[in-house]
Amino acid sequence: MSSFIVIDDDISVRSVLTKIIEQYNLGDLYAEADNGLLGEELILRYKPDIVMIDLLLPEQDGISIIKNIKASNVKSMFIMLSQVSDKDMIAKAYEYGIEFFISKPINVIEVVNVVRKVNEYLSMKKTFEAIESTALTLGRSSIGNNGRKLGNAKRVLNQLMADLGILGDLGSRDIINISTMLYDDPDLGESLEETQLSELLKLLQSKYSSEGKASTSDFKAIEMRMRRTVGKAMKNIAAMGIEDFSNDKFILYSSSLFDYSDIKMEMDFIRGKAKYGGKVNIKSFIKRLLVMLEQGA
């Protein structure tokens, strides 16, 4: 069950949200606040899973609260509710870390559906984090005892690239090569967190040069190819979610290979509701891809 904090200066809105949470068994309400300063204090104290927050609040606005909370490394997810229709302000809210924006007046069905989707994401995220915490330690040692199954690893990677709609892209070859390189070298894979992307790309550049592929080994060209390909994968997954929020591939990849907040931003960008799409993070994508590879190979 998810934990909630509700922050809104309108007592009637807080009452409606409280009843929705209770009536639809969405989780446990930890606290509520009628101003921004108290709201931020409660979030830091209780660290809830979900914060339902108004954009405009006395003493401190919702965007400032979210910015401060994210800087404090609290992992709460934010659902913002407001009558404000200014697209620039809404885009700014997404930029600082909200997951969903719901326009007032409150529609009960919309709130329930949004919260349930966030709950599904939280459940999947916890599962993925549990997998990630063991895969890179236990997974490598068990595979190492039987030798590297590079052929099977490449098969899994090709299937993932196909699922993401990027198998034919030049950048997908770079992604597959760098992933198999990490998969095949336990020391390199285990130090991935501390390794800069530039160092990984230099290793790939050296590999291409040693294979006589000088025309494809330019450092910047490799990075640009990979960035375009990861960006295309993000766009494809976001498009799946727009078409069918219950799509199995969307549910799996939107939270395992990407941060869901970036996918949500990309969805809103495609819909014309935001000025910017999700952020492309090549290293994070490779890291998450490697975890999935460990599970599937």
Tell me the average pLDDT across 111-126. Answer: 80
Measured distance CA(29)–CA(8) in Å, rounded: 14
Q: What is the pLDDT of residue 137?
A: 46
β-pair partners for 5: 31, 51
Other CB atoms within 10 A of residue 25 CB:
7
Q: What is the pLDDT of residue 233?
A: 95
Q: Which contacts (CB < 8 Å, 24+ apart) does range 165-168 have?
A: 165/232, 165/233, 165/236, 166/229, 166/232, 166/233, 166/236
pLDDT in tens, 58-76: 999 999 999 999 889 898 9
Q: Which of 201, 196, 249, 191 is nearest to 224 (CA)?
A: 201
Query: pTM of the predicted model, to two decimals?
Result: 0.55
Residue 175: pLDDT over 70: yes
Q: Which helix (H) or strand (E) holds 223?
A: helix 219-243
> What is the topology classification, in CATH, of domain 2-120?
Rossmann fold (3.40.50)
Q: Which of 68, 111, 67, 70 is nearest to 93 (CA)?
A: 67
Model confidence band, residue 20 (pLDDT cutoffs 50, 70, 90): very high
pLDDT in tens, 268-282: 999 998 888 999 999
Domain extent listing, the chain: 2-120, 148-296
Q: What is the mean pLDDT of the chain?
A: 83
Please report, for the chain, how many H helices and E strands are present, in that order. Answer: 14, 5
Lowest mean pLDDT among 10-19, 157-166, 241-250: 241-250
Measured distance CA(273)–CA(181) in Å, rounded: 39
